[in-house]
Structure 1
């Protein structure tokens, strides 16, 4: 992801250099997000979905290994997904307790 930067005359932005998202990637992203929001294991988790070149990228926090596993399985089941990059981290529920 690029952050826009201004040229001295305010004309140029780094966003001009970025290619338009592939419509297949946008469709896959929507389908993966929909499946994660429907499933009872993953719907209340903090999961961000992005898709690049038909690779579903899952990021965020989940509360257990089962939710992490199920999220990846749901993403794999979406038609058009070529690969899944599971970057989900398991939240430590003990943190903050004394």
Structure 2
């Protein structure tokens, strides 16, 4: 007799493969950003949620901001990129 839900089969969360894939994508994007000449010395953090890459931190200019997003988009498996990178001196409102 089979019970439902099956405690042995359902013991592993269904979303664990999504988390593993997000970690894999984050590592690939971070690696590309860290070795690219344009982005490697910038303050960029990479987070991935459900194959959506979220870039945060500060960069020196708009071209570098764009390059980071393009590097993320080039990773196979990325569904979308949220580019929340700010430019040095423009990320905070002091008024």
User: Taking structure 1 as the reference length, what is the TM-score of the superposition?
Assistant: 0.73
Q: How many residues align?
A: 75
**1:12-51 maps to which residues of 2 (within 5 A)?**
22-51=19-48
Unmatched tracts of structure 2, length 5 or more: 1-14, 91-95
Task: Identify the residue that residue 70 of structure 1 maps to in structure 2.
Answer: 67
Unmatched tracts of structure 1, length 5 or more: 1-18, 94-98
Higher helix share: 2
Cα offset, 1:92, TM superposition: 2.4
User: Taking structure 2 as the reference length, what is the TM-score of the superposition?
Assistant: 0.75
Cα offset, 1:51, TM superposition: 0.1
CA root-mean-square deviation: 1.6
Q: Which has the larger radius of gyration?
A: 2
Q: Which runs of 4+ in 1 moved over 4 A?
A: none
